Structure 1
Amino acid sequence: MNNKNIERLIPKAINLLQSFPKEKIYQGYLASFGPTVITSGILQTVAFYSGDDKKKKVIKLMFDLIKEDLKTNHITLLNVLEENENYKNYEIKNRILEASVACKLAIRTFELKD
């Protein structure tokens, strides 16, 4: 992960979070996303988060944040991961982890409800 990339992504994350639900549960999903990627793997985590409607919003948020960096025309992050080889998934994993940290920091700027 690169701190400069994270710093660059934070303002974009704040803009995307403007239209995001302001519920504390999403703060928890964002906080647990990174550790889940580390322990379970990127493809498994994205597949797991894609199976739930609320968690799917977290995946979409991060994908919207890094879509330009990935230079892809895929519709979902899961499609990107399924179609790339393992060596490319490592690079994608780093971008997603950077997006995860940026979102986790950005959501703290909002007042959240229970």
Structure 2
Amino acid sequence: MVPLFLAGALWAVPAGAADTPPPPGATPPAPGAPSTPGEQARQGVELLMKALEGWVRQVPMFAPPEVTPEGDIVIRRLDRSRPAPPNPGPAEPTPPRSDPPVPNAPTDL
């Protein structure tokens, strides 16, 4: 019987504590401050998204890869202070290079 009475008394204490007014020295929350945990979570996610946006803007941007006639692949870094270059059309195929002539005479090594 005593454990049942003790359990009931402990259960009633937190319920009564929720109805108590804040102490006289406490300041009320600011008018724009979130009042619910859901609003706080939403504001936290918004701050994270703004930080992520700033990080993405700092990541250097690159132009599309280009293949030179020699077969090299060039990926140029874009300068954000200049406007983007116009997108070039399809490159004209270059004629195949002919190999240098091979001498007919035997060579001594």
TM-score, L = length of structure 2: 0.21
TM-score, L = length of structure 1: 0.20
> RCO (CA 8 Å, sep 6+): is it higher in 1 or 2?
1
**Higher relative helix content:** 1
Structure (1 or 2) with the larger CA radius of gyration: 2
